Amino acid sequence: MGKAKNPRRVADNEAMAVSKMLRTSPQKLNLVAGLIRNKPVSKALTELTFSKRRIAGDVKKTLQSAIANAENNHNLDVDELIVAEAYIGKNLVMKRGRPRARGRYGKILKPFSQITIKVRQVEEQA
């Protein structure tokens, strides 16, 4: 008989991609995500290509994945896509440490993040 198909988590004119375990803090990743929110995907890709931040390459890869999902899986027109949402989440935090003077211990936290990018097809107003 088989299982019933899962309903889509996004609307019919949307597609999304998620990257997990990005080795940066959510605060730094949110600065890069703010660059691309509510922009056409071509402009967002250009912003990420020329950004000086290290994590911008990983965000660009996620955006390209969302565009490919929209084109191949949901038959959306790439030229009419905008970045509808780009939100950040916390992931695990590696705890490391460093011995300090007088028997103390300096805590070093190495956070990981995740990013979810949703692209939406909108008709361009001429």
SS3 readout for the chain: CCCCCCCCCCCCCEEEEEEEEECCCHHHHHHHHHHHCCCEHHHHHHHHHCCCCCCHHHHHHHHHHHHHHHHHCCCCCHHHEEEEEEEEEEEEEEEEEEECHHHCEEEEEEEEEEEEEEEEECCCCC
The model's pLDDT over 4-26, given as tens digits with 9 standing for 90+, comes to 888 888 899 999 999 999 999 99
As its CATH architecture, domain 14-121 has Alpha-Beta Complex (3.90)
The model's pLDDT over 71-123, given as tens digits with 9 standing for 90+, comes to 999 999 999 999 999 999 999 999 999 999 999 999 999 999 999 999 999 98
